[in-house]
Amino acid sequence: MPGAARTGIVGRMRPAILKTALSALIVSALGLVSVTVPAQATSKPDVFALPNGFQPEGIAIGPGPYAYFGSRATGDIYRADLRTGKGSVISKGPGSPSLGLKTDGRGRLFVAGGTGGDARVIDLRTGEVVKSYKLTTDPAFVNDVILTGRAAYFTDSRNPVLYKLDLGRGGSLPDEAVKIPLSGAIQYTTGNNANGIAPSPDRKSLLIVQSNTGKLFEVDPSSGVTTEVDLGGELLTNGDGLLLSGRTLYAVLNRANTVAVISLAGDGASGKIAKRLTDPRFDVPTTVAAYGSRLYLPNARFTTTPTPDTPYNVVAVKR
């Protein structure tokens, strides 16, 4: 009631003392709470191991924080959790290579079969091969693959051709592949020719890098006609895996231990190398995939004689 004396400890305190006491109580309480908060999870590893002797080549990431790697030795497919770097083989290979890889939104992995001259589609849930395609009976090196909304395209480093899998309604797989001969500016020569493949920024054409000449080409996916992308005289020698993000193209230059970062025109007809990414942990990386703000690259170690005990790893760098 008005004018009555206040009782209790708080009631007898002066305002300044009361403010100090309340502050102390809050700090104390916060201190007690902080003790019980669990430690935050450590950050994702920026390097992690693959099985000894694996001989990695391709990488695909997603759905989710999972990366897939193909072995050029056995064709095994290894899956790693990017949050921990831990993983295991989810699909045993046919004894021929698994090179370029791409996942789709339907839980499938498309695999370029290298010297096997084939392609495979694997169910990521079971590791089973959904369908196999014998792309050619000629000597071949089916090197990389890209998925568009309606098709999968595979490069062949020995033969001037793209192999196309037309995808039907709901992503249904065709009975066989279609060959699209490459013509125009690209000229096959000794060594690895068409290698990495990516869409152009406007999605109207495809981009392929020719490893031995270092040239980048735009390809009409219907006709196979190629035109050279104007890079202002720059070359992408030893160009391997390609990754497009917006209008930025990442090109792995394997034996140069470098990723060329290219700013492309909207139609993909020209571009400029904006920078080159290097890292002392690179040991002939071959392909690249992105997750968050990072690029992940498997070290193929082409300059190291492979044995069953040779260690291999994956390196992550900031974009």
Share above pLDDT 90 across residues of the chain, in percent, rounded to a whole number: 86
For residues 268-293, one letter each, b for 16 or more C-beta atoms within 10 angstroms of the residue's C-beta and e for the rest, the string is bebbebeeebebebbbbbbbbbbbee
> Which tens digits make up the pLDDT trace of 96-134?
999 999 999 899 999 999 999 999 999 999 999 999 999
Helix (H), strand (E) at residue 86? none
> Which amino acid belongs to residue 96?
S
- Looking at residue 25, its pLDDT comes to 40
In this prediction, residue 42 has a pLDDT band, given cuts at 50, 70 and 90, of low
Cα–Cα nearest to 183, from 146, 148, 222, 211: 222
* CATH number of residue 214's parent domain: 2.130.10.10
The full length of the chain comes to 319
- Looking at residue 124, its pLDDT comes to 97
In a domain? residue 121: yes
- Looking at residue 4, its pLDDT comes to 40
In a domain? residue 112: yes
> Which tens digits make up the pLDDT trace of 215-265?
999 999 999 999 999 999 999 999 999 999 999 999 999 999 999 999 999
In a domain? residue 16: no
In a domain? residue 40: no
* Domains of the chain: total: 1
Asked whether the bond before 63 is cis by omega within 30 degrees of 0, the reply is yes
> Which amino acid belongs to residue 173?
L
In a domain? residue 125: yes
Contact 115, 74 (CB under 8 A): no
> C-alpha 203: how far from its chain's center?
19
User: Would you say the C-alpha torsion 192, 193, 199, 201 has a positive or negative sign?
Assistant: positive
Tokens representing residue 253 in the block: 């230059």
In a domain? residue 37: no
pTM score of the predicted model: 0.86
Q: Which domain holds residue 224?
A: 47-318
CA distance 228 to 98: 28
In a domain? residue 35: no
> Which tens digits make up the pLDDT trace of 190-212?
999 999 999 999 999 999 999 99
The set of residues, in sequence order, having a beta carbon less than 8 Å from that of 241 and lying 6+ positions away, is 58, 59, 100, 144, 195, 196, 251, 252, 286, 287, 288
Bridge pairing between strands 271-278 and 225-228: unpaired
In a domain? residue 212: yes
